[in-house]
Chain A
Amino acid sequence: MSIKVAYWPGCVSRGFTPELHGSMAAVAPLLDIELVELDRANCCGAGVIAEHNQELADTLNARTFALAQQVQGAELMMNICSTCQGAQSECQERLDANAEYRAHVNRTLSAEGLTYKKDPGGAGGASFTNKNFLWLLVEEIGLDALRERVKRPLTNLKVGPFYGCYIVRPRERLGIDSEHPRDHYLAQVIEALGGTVISYAGERKCCGFPIITMNKEASLKQAGTHLGDAKDADADCLVTPCPLCHLNLDLQQPLAAKAVGRELQMPVLHLPQLVGLALGLEPKQLGMQRHIVRPTSVIDWSTAVVGAAA
């Protein structure tokens, strides 16, 4: 069964973490996901535009939603960035809560002939859905189907989930409840791929990225502390659904190590990379050579990790 999605890759996945966008493109066909890229859409604002002007952030994201709703045959919109998920969910909450406000924002968008519809399927129907790849993986594709597609189980690979903030809080807005334990999905995916889940203190804490330009010391201390906690818990690597977390955890890792005064050398994988690896792709096809802490230099995929290569 294939699924067609209006695909919003975000900015950073095409900027400083190009391996994220690339690995998603490589993994999608293996999961029968058809990606229709929203190439005219704009930055979600990452909370900063909302901090500057809420109406502006709401308008920009309503525009992205409207573009997604124009994609023929797409069941939903999919993103690969937790920060996009959080910032867009916040805007969607306001847009969906108040018809008058929605009409106001749509008047602005009418300049481009765009309209955001709260219930695209007709009045009272299902509301507009925007899911991170992590949620789509568990809820639309399903863990059993994922398990069936694993070609190279991540046997003995000890993976620490790093959720970050935007995709787990606030719970109500992000639709997290006992039926949708989205704040545990990374662990479920790691298990489905045959890996071992490592629990550690920083799983759902802040990577520090949002204050890197304002308070570098505190920011790097956050990244360094979580990486160190994961190391102490004996993780081989971390996996994250957020490219901004990746920037602070990987790109800045040498500085984070200095900030906490210890060696870290902790590889951090993007979610599609971890999935791709288990589905049989090679580290190079997944852009792992682009990481600052190269997963391949720390982990020997060919022997230690890969149980039975197909």
Chain B
Amino acid sequence: MAETHRVGGSPEKFKLKLRRFDPESGEAPYWDEHTIELEPHRSVLEGILQARARFDGSIGIRCSCRAAICGSCGVRINGEPGLACHTHLDHARDSSPDGTIEVEPMGNMPVIKDLVVDMDAVHWKKIQRVTPWLLAKQPVPEREYLVPRENMVDVTQSMACIQCGACVSDCLAMEVDPGFIGPAALAKAYRFVGDPRDAERHERLNDLSQDPQGIYDCTHCFKCVQACPKDVNPMGQIMRLRRIAGADEHIVDQNNGYRHEHAFVKNIRRNGLLHEADLVPDSSGGKFHPRAIPELISGMPTAIRGLMRGKMTLSKILLHPHKAPKPVKKYFDEIDSKPERYELNLYVTGYDEDDEPTPATVGEGSTT
């Protein structure tokens, strides 16, 4: 992945195509093109600022530190979310199909002007939603809390978030369900769920599980993992919230999240391969559970169509043609019944030294 970027080098020309929009003008959004001249290793943000200084003082962009710390300059570059100050001009040119660097405002948030979006209307509301502060266990000790190092190292990954909104911009669940709490806020929630000083772990998890737009609304699309300039791995944090909610706190939510996970695991333990026909009723509590009946009825037309096309056969639906090999069952039982889960976190452990081509090169500014 890591293309080497020359530091220094002589200035080159780059074509920038900027998405412009001024709601007060009453005009529709449009594209604006400028050719700027800078050393190839300089950032897209510097390119935009040069265009503003030289050609058009009205270009709207929010920025401050220019060093991937403040999180102000989140935009979409060639359709991908990221920080303008954290993307090299030559890299952006190379990732564009025609060599023109296309810069748009982030998605899932209303545009205030040009490349500036309304973070308050979406991102910060969602952050507020997860009670983003420590609710300390009582009584508060007279001196400092003593917390195991592993716990603190573990939550530093979600603490690395700089609130740039890149993950929110491209969240695919939010695209169809704007009320979804979303990747940034849920990663923030893990920061407190994973903190042993917090007194409200169960309540936090119960709240986020029961909310139809909470942890079980994530579609597992990896967009946020790819978008994050700080390697926060928001989707990974959401999966950990689910794991802790289900396995440690035994929270059975109204969204079928817990039941789906457990039905799936049970299904593979028994069959070795996924037996789809059992998954829907089992996710609702089992074939004979009252809750499963409406699900089964609403699924009937789909099942009938499948049967008529020969995709499914009755014997495939009713019988279990596959059986898991005995050792597989044993792995399920042994690993699942361990008092403590063995969870390798590469963010904490890093990669073995002998691995030359592994992602030690996630990008500068990442904290791996």
Chain A contact residues, CB within 8 Å of chain B: 11-12, 14-19, 40, 42-43, 45-56, 58-60, 63, 86, 93-94, 96-99, 101, 104, 108, 111-112, 124, 165-166, 169-173, 176-178, 205-206, 208, 210-211, 213-215, 217-219, 221-222, 225, 251-252, 254-255, 289-292
Contacts and interface: CB of A to CB of B under 8 A. Distances in A.
A168 B311 CA distance: 28
B121 interface: no
A43 B268 contact: yes
Contact of B306 (A53, A124, A251): A251
Contacts of B221: 165, 169, 205-206, 210
B335 A56 contact: yes
B143 interface: no
Q: Which size bracket describes the interface of B in this complex? A: 35 or more
A1 to B, nearest CB: 26
A171 B1 contact: yes
B332 A56 contact: yes
Contacts of B1: 171-172, 176-177
A217 to B, nearest CB: 8
25 contacts: A15-B274, A48-B261, A51-B242, A51-B261, A52-B262, A52-B264, A56-B331, A56-B336, A60-B328, A63-B328, A97-B355, A101-B344, A104-B342, A108-B331, A165-B219, A165-B221, A206-B219, A211-B216, A211-B218, A218-B180, A222-B219, A225-B176, A255-B301, A292-B309, A292-B311
A34 to B, nearest CB: 23
Contacts of B331: 56, 59-60, 63, 108
A177 B316 CA distance: 41
Contacts, number: 209
Contact of A16 (B264, B312, B350): B312
Contacts of A43: 268, 272-274
B327 interface: yes
B346 A15 contact: no
A53 B176 contact: no
A205 B171 CA distance: 10
Given A42-B328, A169-B221, A170-B222, A52 B246 contact: yes
Contacts of B350: 97
B283 interface: yes
Contacts of A169: 221-223, 225-226
B173 interface: yes
Q: Chain B CB within 10 Å — which of A45, A96, A97, A291 has the most?
A: A97
Contact of B219 (A98, A111, A211, A225): A211
Nearest to A255: B302
Contact of A173 (B223, B283, B341, B359): B359
A113 B239 CA distance: 32
B52 interface: no
Nearest to A164: B221
B325 interface: yes
Q: Which 4 A-B pairs have the closest CB atoms?
A: A169-B222, A11-B274, A206-B221, A11-B273
